[in-house]
Structure 1
Amino acid sequence: MILNADFHIHSLFSMAASKDMRPQKLLDSCVIKGIDVIGSGDAIHPKWRQMWDDPDINYHGVTIIPTAEVEGKGKVHHLILMKDFDTAENIYSEMTPFSRNISTGGRPHVALTGERIAEIVHNNGGYIGPAHAFTPWTGMYGKFESITECYGSEVVDFLELGLSADTSYAAGIEELKEIPFLSNSDAHSPAVNKIAREFNRIKVSSNSVKDIISAVLNNRIVLNAGFFPEEGKYNRTACTRCFRQFSALKAESFNWKCPDDGGAIKRGVHDRAKYLSKEGFTTKRPDYVHIIPLGEIIKNVLKTSSPNTKGCLKLYAEFIREFDNEINVLLNVDPCELSELNAEVGLAVEKFRSNEIILHPGGGGMYGNFEIPYR
């Protein structure tokens, strides 16, 4: 059995999250998107756990994996997977003395090292790995030179790549050779252009929580799918004020201060991964398929400012009605069939499947963007 899974999202209790980020809206979006497994996100938060107890929730056959993200010392973010919400409650109890906002914030700050956080998680039967590992401000590799420096003697069960990286960025880092890679959305909204904008395809014997977690731990991930890394807002080394991009060598020569406006230059994920990789070393990994959310493609085709305009939503609904779900449209349906509904959308899907997209990399906190060559 092959399932599509997104393990990292947030609830309405997280900072900058939509107030629509509620269980039923989230599950409804999973059906439209084509997601079989969704992380609960924010499972350590007491009120969010309670919201999943609602007997009127229609799960649509989607499996919920209790997950959470916590911020540890140094503002490093960690992703946690759990077998049930009781495990989340136990972790909450052990972390409470070390956090001022664990009862109020969806992604709490916990004043503990990565090693101590991992120890608490493992002792309670949970699993842990770095969230968006390469992000300069809050990723493990933004703060540490190695896994051991962050997690000490504790086992790292997986690594989340983040929106600014794909498998190619991490496959050359020797210490990661045995660690499964995850690609997740980190969505703060149930909007279909946010949920599962990155996802994993896993091979399981059933859709039980136990089998799904086992598939992650034993690297039965058959596909990672997500952004072109250049679309991420920290992909390239750039000034955090004016967003001018630099090579790592040039940034170093300027002492990491922008010569134009004095802003801080932040090392990008691309350069950081290159620095950490061992020349000539790589590991065999599942394919990584670059995708663009269907709503973003339609926005580009209709030349609108948002994928949520009436025209975009109408055309999006027509594609879902005709082809069942978004992932099916993006990965499986023949572009010729898509073109029968809208020729430019069909061509756009064909172009990104063949990596013919024109990319303008992001950096310094500004997202990158793409162009679709229609001729």
Structure 2
Amino acid sequence: MIVDADLHIHSRYSKAVSKLMTFPILAENAKLKGLEIVGTGDILNLQWEKELLEAAQKVDEGSYEIKGVRFLLTAEVEDSRRVHHLLIFPSIDAVRGMRERLKPYSKDIENEGRPHVNLSAAEIADLANELDVLIGAAHSFTPWTALYKEYNSLKEAYGDAKVHFLELGLSADSYVADRIKAHHGLTYLSNSDAHSPMPHRLGREFNRFEIEDATFDEVRKAILKRGGRKIILNVGLDPRLGKYHLTACSKCYTKYRLEDAKGLNWRCELCGGVIKKGVHDRILELADTNERPKDRPPYLHLAPLAEIIAMVLNKAVETKAVKSIWERLLREFGSEIAVLVDVPIKSITELIGEEIAKAIWAFRNEKLIVIPGGGGKYGEIRLPEEIKKAKLEEIGDIKIKHEDVYYRPKQSSILSFLKKA
């Protein structure tokens, strides 16, 4: 069976997270998005664990179900050098065992969703290995709390401990991450790290698994590439839309070339703010190959439907007008993924009119203008004026100058992977 999964989110017990992050709301929005599996996030928090067990039906030791959506036990922890690690647990017993082992090294594990732990990356990985917990670097390239912010290699961070996957994060995809040869034996995960259940956050990045059931055991086999189970597609934002894609000031978001930022000693010449090195530049610093492993799944860049609607309406994503159209499309066609990929443009036009249908066509055909993000500000998508002014039947002939994203094939060649059998 083919299953879509977002394995990294947060609960309202983490800082800067929506109060709407509850299990019933997550389950409802996951179904609308088209996700069959969602990570619980923050399961090391005792209160969040209680809420899961009260709301969910147990499927097996590592899998729970709410309103037809499966939840796997996941958490993120921060180590002594402020690097984040994603954990995927085989059972509640393993969660409780990890909680007890981490307590002596954490002052906030009792009340924080994402606890800080006074242990190194290698020590946390050793504990995970001991408890049969899957572990990997979270959002590996972001400049604040990620592996490559602090280390120059997986070996430097984790030593001899086993690492099971690498999470790409919003500002990178598999094409750029594979520029580092040490990654070639690892599975990549593309997860949302959602702090809100809203449609432009939950499932904005996800993984497509080919497994026999929506359970922890089957997902583990896929991550470890065992028994014919596997990830067949990573899906996420165009890296240029990530908050840290380009090197930029973290205060006024002015973008800089790497050599210019170094020359300014990482201080913005306009406002004096700190310049943060972009994921693009950081990967190029570490790059040591142009090859890709033969078994690497394709990566599909998928813009959130709500953001496409908001772009056309010129309104904020959170407004009622945007949400109303988003819900109408999903009620009619089943899921966000179906609307973005499968539903005929003519059918979308008949339901909500030509303007949004043209924007969805432009997304599918790589005609949207992308303004890269940096310094902590998300990138933006814009609809070219030529497409805005044209009739629907005319847009296929419009030529748009489009800057290619490095190291990836044309999106149109892999869109078919999103069409479920």
How high is the TM-score relative to the length of structure 1?
0.96
Give me the whole-angstrom Cα distance separating, in 2, the residues matched to 1:79 and 1:116.
14
Partner of 1:307: 317
Q: Verify: 1:182 aligned to 2:189, yes or no.
A: yes
Match of 1:98 among 100, 105, 129: 105
Ranges in structure 1 where 5+ consecutive residues have no aligned partner: none
Partner of 1:135: 142
Aligned-pair identity in percent equals: 40
Paired residues of 1:63 and 1:209 also in contact (CA < 8 A): no
Q: Verify: 1:213 aligned to 2:223, yes or no.
A: no
Pairwise CA distance, 1:335: 2.4
Match of 1:329 among 333, 339, 348: 339
Of 274-283 and 21-30, deviating more is 274-283
Give me the whole-angstrom Cα distance separating, in 2, the residues matched to 1:182 and 1:333.
27
Give SS of 1:95's match: helix
Partner of 1:118: 125
Give me the whole-angstrom Cα distance separating, in 1, the residues matched to 2:120 and 2:335.
41
Of 193-202 and 253-262, deviating more is 253-262
Paired residues of 1:290 and 1:352 also in contact (CA < 8 A): no
The superposition leaves residues 225-264 of structure 1 with CA deviations (integer Å, 9 ceiling, x where unpaired) of 1111111111101122222111112222222222233322
Pairwise CA distance, 1:272: 0.6
Paired residues of 1:299 and 1:312 also in contact (CA < 8 A): yes
Pairwise CA distance, 1:60: 2.6
Pairwise CA distance, 1:56: 6.9
Residue 174 of structure 1 aligns with an amino acid whose one-letter code is K
Give me the whole-angstrom Cα distance separating, in 1, the residues matched to 2:254 and 2:199.
31
Give me the whole-angstrom Cα distance separating, in 2, the residues matched to 1:194 and 1:354.
23
Q: Which aligned pairs between 1:236-315 and structure 2 lie closer than 5 A?
A: 236-284=246-294, 285-304=296-315, 306-315=316-325
Runs of 4 or more, structure 1, over 3 Å off, are 55-58
Pairwise CA distance, 1:216: 1.8
Are the structure 2 counterparts of residues 55 and 351 from structure 1 closer, same or farther at C-alpha, using a change threshold of 3 Å? Answer: closer
Pairwise CA distance, 1:313: 2.1
Paired residues of 2:140 and 2:146 also in contact (CA < 8 A): yes
User: CA RMSD of the aligned region, Å?
Assistant: 1.5
Q: Which aligned pairs between 1:61-76 and structure 2 lie closer than 5 A?
A: 61-76=68-83
Ranges in structure 2 where 5+ consecutive residues have no aligned partner: 58-64, 389-421
Are the structure 2 counterparts of residues 56 and 83 from structure 1 closer, same or farther at C-alpha, using a change threshold of 3 Å? Answer: closer
Give me the whole-angstrom Cα distance separating, in 1, the residues matched to 2:321 and 2:269.
44
Are the structure 2 counterparts of residues 347 and 152 from structure 1 closer, same or farther at C-alpha, using a change threshold of 3 Å? Answer: same
The superposition leaves residues 35-65 of structure 1 with CA deviations (integer Å, 9 ceiling, x where unpaired) of 0000000011111111111157772322111
Pairwise CA distance, 1:221: 0.9
Q: What is the count of residue pairs matched by the alignment? A: 374
Give SS of 2:53's match: coil
Paired residues of 1:172 and 1:283 also in contact (CA < 8 A): no
Of 16-25 and 243-252, deviating more is 243-252
Partner of 1:40: 40
Paired residues of 1:3 and 1:202 also in contact (CA < 8 A): yes
Are the structure 2 counterparts of residues 23 and 346 from structure 1 closer, same or farther at C-alpha, using a change threshold of 3 Å? Answer: same
Give SS of 1:225's match: strand
Paired residues of 1:32 and 1:325 also in contact (CA < 8 A): yes
Partner of 1:222: 232
Match of 1:344 among 355, 364, 372: 355
Are the structure 2 counterparts of residues 55 and 244 from structure 1 closer, same or farther at C-alpha, using a change threshold of 3 Å? Answer: closer
Q: Which aligned pairs between 1:139-178 and structure 2 lie closer than 5 A?
A: 139-178=146-185
Paired residues of 1:296 and 1:307 also in contact (CA < 8 A): yes
Of 135-144 and 362-371, deviating more is 362-371
Q: Verify: 1:366 aligned to 2:373, yes or no.
A: no
Give SS of 1:54's match: helix
Match of 1:85 among 77, 92, 115: 92
Pairwise CA distance, 1:314: 1.9
Residue 229 of structure 1 aligns with an amino acid whose one-letter code is P
